[in-house]
Homo-oligomer: A and B are copies of this chain.
């Protein structure tokens, strides 16, 4: 398959963009995974290696049912063994080769952001040193088994926020690697991301030009606490529906705490939290700000201006309105021409390929969503 940039954009039903001589298609959410924790062992210090062999990765959990195989698509796994379905998050690996064959080359994607998965739990791992070691190991495994194989791949590196100094260390260690373009953090954490506790991490991201990707994870896991503002729900569908709620809480916090005044080059991408929560948030917060801004004087502009300038939203899972008019109205209201980026969520069970995500998108908006917004976000 061709790997020339933008030379062969897809020409599938629903694809409304023309061919371009440069970048045409950027995917902002692809998950790389190891087949088992054993694969991380070579990258871990000996003491932790022995712990992992003895006790696994000790990732916190919630007790919620998800879908068979913990989200992954078993049909995409090589040599999948159902009997080996033992390790949380590690039961089915998806190799670069499988990704290349089933997604990357099929759609001739120009750039891909790898958002991992195995490091999310580090943010609610009580032992910060161990969590940081797992992040380092997974990042190094990703470099060797994915990034080194294809220059189209970009990494959102995993860090633990349990100790922001350790997150900063990891950002400094890998931040200048040409394929490092972001860090990735889970929605479920102990505090909203505007809290000043995290600011050293945001400073390090700004210094290296890294985007902060927030992705579902840890909802109701251990010290992350309840995944909604009203306590613990019962079913998996409720934890999925909690994602936009959590995205709202983080985005409101980032704006209210003045993070984008303090770090004016910082950008945040919310992947896999759906989309139109951004609309109500901007309208409601703008109105409240007009009445209450004396309480947060560091919020100098309308909240929606910070949102449009600094926050981006991934397209998967794309909300499905009752009719096209509502869909385009919502895209207009959320300023999709600035805020929306294409994300596939490969290889999870509900992933979206680029041709069927947005049938009938007007060409100008198509180009913004599938390429230009991400290009500006990641400085491509």
Residue from the set A193, A229, A232, A326 with the largest chain B CB neighbour count within 10 Å:
A229
Decide: B274 and A276 in contact? CB cutoff 8 A.
no
Contacts of A242 in B (CB 8 A): 229, 249, 252
Contacts of A249 in B (CB 8 A): 228-230, 233, 238, 241-242, 245
Decide: B233 and A192 in contact? CB cutoff 8 A.
yes
A218 to B, closest residue via Cβ: B230
A304 to B, closest residue via Cβ: B322
Decide: A253 and B237 in contact? CB cutoff 8 A.
no
Contact A288 to B240, CB < 8 A, known contacts A229-B219, A329-B326: yes
Contacts of A289 in B (CB 8 A): 237
Decide: B292 and A321 in contact? CB cutoff 8 A.
no
How many of chain A's residues touch chain B, expressed as a range? 35 or more
Decide: A291 and B350 in contact? CB cutoff 8 A.
yes
Q: Which of B256, B280, B320 contacts A274 (CB 8 A)?
A: B280
Interchain CA distance A286-B317 in the complex, whole Å: 12
Q: How far is the CB of A222 from chain B (nearest CB, A)?
A: 13
Q: Which of A14-22, A105-113, A182-190 is found at the contact surface with chain B? A: A182-190
Instruction: Tell me, yes or no, whether A277 is within 8 Å of chain B by CB.
Output: yes
Contacts of A295 in B (CB 8 A): 65, 235-237
Decide: B321 and A192 in contact? CB cutoff 8 A.
no
Contact A252 to B229, CB < 8 A, known contacts A320-B287, A333-B326, A350-B291: no
Instruction: Tell me, yes or no, whether A281 is within 8 Å of chain B by CB.
Output: yes
Instruction: Tell me, yes or no, whether A46 is within 8 Å of chain B by CB.
Output: no
Tell me the chain A residues, 221-271 only, with Cβ under 8 Å from chain B.
225-238, 240-242, 244-246, 248-250, 252-253, 256-257
Contacts of A237 in B (CB 8 A): 252, 256, 285, 288-289, 292, 295-296
Decide: A256 and B283 in contact? CB cutoff 8 A.
no
Decide: A320 and B286 in contact? CB cutoff 8 A.
yes
Contacts of A231 in B (CB 8 A): 189-192, 225
Interchain CA distance A274-B283 in the complex, whole Å: 10
Decide: A229 and B229 in contact? CB cutoff 8 A.
yes
Q: Which of B229, B245, B280, B322 contacts A276 (CB 8 A)?
A: B280
Instruction: Tell me, yes or no, whether A195 is within 8 Å of chain B by CB.
Output: yes
Instruction: Tell me, yes or no, whether A319 is within 8 Å of chain B by CB.
Output: yes
Interchain CA distance A286-B319 in the complex, whole Å: 10
Instruction: Tell me, yes or no, whether A279 is within 8 Å of chain B by CB.
Output: yes
Interchain CA distance A226-B320 in the complex, whole Å: 31
Instruction: Tell me, yes or no, whether A332 is within 8 Å of chain B by CB.
Output: yes
Q: How far is the CB of A168 from chain B (nearest CB, A)?
A: 21
Instruction: Tell me, yes or no, whether A325 is within 8 Å of chain B by CB.
Output: yes
Decide: B326 and A284 in contact? CB cutoff 8 A.
no
Instruction: Tell me, yes or no, whether A354 is within 8 Å of chain B by CB.
Output: no
A319 to B, closest residue via Cβ: B283
The 3 A-B residue pairs with the shortest CB-CB distance, nearest first, are A228-B249, A329-B329, A245-B245
Kindly list 20 other residue pairs between chains A and B, CB separation below 8 angstroms, not including A67-B292, A192-B232: A191-B230, A192-B230, A194-B234, A219-B229, A225-B226, A229-B245, A230-B253, A233-B249, A234-B256, A235-B256, A236-B295, A237-B296, A240-B288, A241-B285, A274-B280, A276-B280, A283-B321, A284-B317, A322-B333, A329-B330
What would be 7 A-B contacts, judged by CB atoms less than 8 Å apart?
A: A67-B291, A189-B231, A225-B231, A235-B257, A241-B288, A275-B280, A287-B320
